[in-house]
A = this chain, B = another copy of it.
């Protein structure tokens, strides 16, 4: 590992630690630099902005989400149960950050941020999210109709971003409203998917999928 690589790691590690402890806003670049034992300028040499550091945080959270979803994905077979389980474990993973959420997850829709469903740049961040939902869909039994299965991960990711948006403003005890949101909307979605997967629905399904494809950039 080269020297510069090590410096970079030190900085990102310092940033993530401070983000976790104090949240995004309360963590200043001066704090990050000091904690990493480098100068402010050096931090900027490796990371163009504070936002870029936040993206590293997202990646970490995403990895934790994938890991947390693993057991559920191994045991749940129906689409409904798989989706439900993945979302509930996502909620558990992000729970510790709820007090900072307003700022740490603002990106769910902030145009400047790569986490946004419509944003062109943040494709990799997005791909990661979609990959998780692809696993939900692809290994579900009974199977989801093939054409639908192709578009579903992207749609589910966008849907999960709405969940985050909902969750951010959820001050109910134990976040029960968010959990209810998951339970009830996954029910709805699963029903819709089941109905749509019926061969008789193929023409209507095709029309809906065309719509989605036309409106999704790339």
Contact = CB atoms under 8 A, between A and B. Distances in A.
Interface string A170-190: 000000010011001100100
Secondary structure at the A interface, as helix, strand, loop or mixed, is helix
Nearest to A171: B120
A92 interface: no
Nearest to A181: B215
Interface residues of A, number: 29
A106 B111 contact: yes
A206 interface: no
Given A109-B110, A188-B211, 8 more contacts: A109-B109, A111-B165, A111-B168, A116-B169, A118-B166, A120-B169, A169-B217, A184-B214
A27 interface: no
A103 B111 CA distance: 8
A101 interface: yes
B112 A169 contact: no
Given A106-B110, A110-B106, A112-B106, A118 B215 contact: no
A118 B165 CA distance: 8
